[in-house]
Amino acid sequence: MSIILEFVNVNAGYGRIQILNDLSFAVDEGQVYGVIGPNGSGKTTMFNALLGLIKPSSGKILFDGIDITRTSANVRCKMGLGRTFQVPKPFENMSLYENVLVAAVHGGTHRERFAREIALSSLRLTGLYDKREIKAGELALLDRKRLEIARALGTEPKLLLLDEVAAGLTDAEVKDIMRLVADLKAAGHSIVWIEHIIETMVGSTDKLMCMAEGRCVISGNPREVMESAEVQRLYLGVDENE
């Protein structure tokens, strides 16, 4: 199995504040790779570095075997990185359809005529089809999270990056997301999924990494990682996110 994503000793942060410390890990193609870690451990920052919103001060990021450390965000997206934002960033004055259309036209580099179908099927997959003509700014939080997924799918990603898309959902809705992730995996997508909900991380991932202070503390079989002494120590007494 080939490696789709690799971080090699990545150091990155905001301005002079360093958040990621020599972060290294690798994601196999076709797998769901889970990421857990306490609040502020740098999970979202890892996505920011991965998408090129912040530039590493040292280290390398390899995507599909290509060094993308210095590549700009829009090019990374076109290469096949589709990302959701933990705090949704919809295009508020555009309809849901237009939100996803932008992704399919620019990220997917399709003509508008073809992008249409991709946008509509992403909206169908995420259960937003009936609301597609509503302005994104009028959505409630849960639908905003769904829109994040729809928009990322609109770019036709090889590697889908999910940042706490299930946080705050009901059990039934969490199950829906898990089913969606399974479907996407079956359709050939590789996925990196950050989430605090243990059930999703144990139930849906092929491999799990735990981050702390911008480092990879442990990675491997999800159940073993969860039960490891390192993770137990990090989460000792902390189950408010469960």
Partner 1 sequence: MSDKRLQRPVRVLDSLPMLIVCIAVVSVLYAVCLLRIASNNAMRYMIQIFLYITMGQMWNLLSGFAGMTSLGQQLYIGLAGYSVAIATAKLHLTLGVGLVMSVAVSVVVALVLSLLLFRMEGMYFSIATWVVAEAFEKLFLSWKYVEQGSGLTIRVVPYPKIEEICAVSLTVCVMSIAVVYLLLRTRTGLGLTAMRDNLTAASAVGVNVFNHKLLVYVIAAAFTAVSAGIFFVNKGIVYPESGFGISWTVSMIFIVTIGGSGTVSGPITGAVIYVFLQELLAHYPGWSNIILGAITILVIFFLPKGIMGTLQEKLRFEIFSAKRFSFAKHK
Ligand X SMILES: Nc1ncnc2c1ncn2[C@@H]1O[C@H](COP(=O)(O)OP(=O)(O)OP(=O)(O)O)[C@@H](O)[C@H]1O
What is the binding site for ligand X (CB under 6 A)?
Answer: 14, 17, 19, 37, 39-45, 86
Is 135 among the residues that bind partner 1 (CB under 8 A)? yes
Span interacting with partner 1, options 111-119, 163-171, 172-180, 216-224, rule CB under 8 A: 111-119
- Size of the residue set binding Mg ion (CB under 5 A): 3
Going by the DSSP 8-state scheme, the letter that residue 110 receives in this structure is -
Q: Which does 150 bind (CB under 5 to 8 A by kind): partner 1, Mg ion, ligand X, none?
A: none
What is the SS3 assignment for 59? strand
Please answer whether residues 133 and 124 qualify as being in contact, where contact means their C-beta atoms are separated by less than 8 angstroms.
Answer: no
Which one of residues 55, 89, 124, 179 is an interface residue with partner 1 (CB under 8 A)?
89
Is 178 among the residues that bind partner 1 (CB under 8 A)? no
Which one of residues 97, 194, 204, 222 is an interface residue with partner 1 (CB under 8 A)?
97
Q: Which does 2 bind (CB under 5 to 8 A by kind): Mg ion, ligand X, partner 1, none?
A: none
Is 44 among the residues that bind Mg ion (CB under 5 A)? yes
Please answer whether residues 175 and 166 qualify as being in contact, where contact means their C-beta atoms are separated by less than 8 angstroms.
Answer: no
What is the SS3 assignment for 205? coil
Report how far residue 14's alpha carbon sits from residue 34's, in angstroms, rounded to the nearest whole number: 24
Is 72 among the residues that bind partner 1 (CB under 8 A)? yes
Report how far residue 66's alpha carbon sits from residue 2's, in angstroms, rounded to the nearest whole number: 13
Nearer to ligand X, 24 or 86 (CB): 86
For the record, the structure tokens of 81 come out as 């990185």
How many other C-beta atoms can be found within 10 angstroms of the C-beta atom of residue 147?
A: 25
Report how far residue 35's alpha carbon sits from residue 208's, in angstroms, rounded to the nearest whole number: 6
Q: What is the CA radius of gyration of the chain?
A: 17
Q: Which residues bind partner 1 (CB under 8 A)?
A: 51, 53, 72-75, 77-78, 82-83, 85, 89-95, 97-99, 101-103, 105-109, 111-112, 116, 119-120, 130-135, 151-152, 154-155
